[in-house]
Amino acid sequence: MGFHKLQEIADWVQQKNLPFWKVVMQDDRQERNVSEEESFGMMRSMYQAMREADQSYSPELRSASGMAGGDGARLEQFRRQENRLIGDFLTEVMEKAVKMAESNACMKRIVAAPTAGSCGVIPAVLLTYEKQKEAGEDRMTEALFVAAGIGEVIAASASISGAEGGCQAEIGSASAMAAGAVTYLEGGNTEEILHAAALALKNMLGLTCDPVAGLVEVPCIKRNVSGAVNAVVSSQMALAGIRSVIPPDEVIDSMRRIGKLLPGCLRETSQDGLAATPTAQKIGKQLSEK
């Protein structure tokens, strides 16, 4: 079947009287012709892989370029300080987002969620929630189904590819997915889930894909932090009763149109943006001479 609009999921939730996550799971069952146990088990394994990737982070790791590694450990040390402007939850979200994205740059095993370049956003939010809220693994797996449903619609109606839609399609999509998932975990209803996703994606519209030297390291790793924090903030706004003036599906449509309007030099080609700065050019030259 497959969903092409978030409203389609909302309609099924109402018609079938099922929770959001279960509607997405039923869609997966139908598409892959698997049992409920197989579908849930597969998603659970995805979540477990995220947790394992977080736990296996090493502060000694450095990417081949030397541009990535060690910042996750710096954020962990920062989190243990008392003179911070932000609370423990967001600080740990920041830490985990960097750790996951650095692990990706250092060729460690991660879960592309929805892409490798945006792999830190969803795990950062969900793993922090599981730890700090003492949520069970089943509940976290359900939240991952919520994220997957949102991601499915974005992929079908717009794009999750930086080369096609800019970084808004990668970090923006991941942020929307994480926002919906954490809203579900906090007891949000379908409307709140979808508007959290819309608010998160709106904040990322127009984000270019301009990786230095063509590597998913600069500025991508730190953008995972922005996407993760944005997801939490957007969720809190939705739970407070704030709604996106532009309906969620129209926000996704806007992201698709903006992606097509972005010139090729700002869509993962490393021809402009941050990739064209003197420092980035120097880094690229140094790497090519190695």
Q: What is the CATH number of the domain that holds 84?
A: 1.10.4100
- pTM equals 0.98
Which pLDDT value is given to residue 37? 98
Question: How many other CB atoms are there within 10 angstroms of residue 158's CB atom?
Answer: 25
Q: Distances from the Cα of 209 to the Cαs of 93, 119, 166, 185, in angstroms?
A: 23, 15, 5, 31
pLDDT digits (tens, 9 = 90+) for 220-248: 999 999 999 999 999 999 999 999 999 99
Task: Establish if 78 belongs to a structural domain.
Answer: yes
Confidence of residue 1 (pLDDT cuts 50, 70, 90): low
Containing H/E element for 48? Answer: helix 36-55
Task: Establish if 29 belongs to a structural domain.
Answer: yes
Task: Establish if 55 belongs to a structural domain.
Answer: yes
Containing H/E element for 162? Answer: helix 162-165
The average confidence (pLDDT) of the chain is 97
What is the sign, positive or negative, of the torsion defined by CA atoms of 5, 232, 260, 111? negative
Which pLDDT value is given to residue 290? 80
Residues present in the chain in total:
290
Question: How many other CB atoms are there within 10 angstroms of residue 206's CB atom?
Answer: 15
Task: Establish if 1 belongs to a structural domain.
Answer: no
Task: Establish if 12 belongs to a structural domain.
Answer: yes
Share of the chain above pLDDT 90, in %: 98
Contact assessment for residue 135 and residue 127, using Cβ atoms and an 8 Å cutoff: no
Task: Establish if 101 belongs to a structural domain.
Answer: yes
> What is the domain count for the chain?
1
Task: Establish if 49 belongs to a structural domain.
Answer: yes
Residue 217 phi/psi, 5-degree rounding, is -135, -55
C-alpha angle 42-43-47 in degrees, rounded to nearest 5: 120
pLDDT digits (tens, 9 = 90+) for 30-70: 999 999 999 999 999 999 999 999 999 999 999 999 999 99
DSSP state for residue 209 in the 8-state scheme: B
Structural domain boundaries enclosing 233: 6-289
Half-sphere exposure of 134 (CA within 13 A, CB side): 0
Task: Establish if 258 belongs to a structural domain.
Answer: yes
What is the full DSSP assignment across 72-117? HHHHHHHHT-S--SS-HHHHHHHHHHHHHHHHHHTT-----SS-ST
How far apart are the C-alpha atoms of 289 and 8, rounded to whole Å? 52
Q: What is the dihedral of CA 45, 49, 51, 53, to 10 degrees?
A: 180
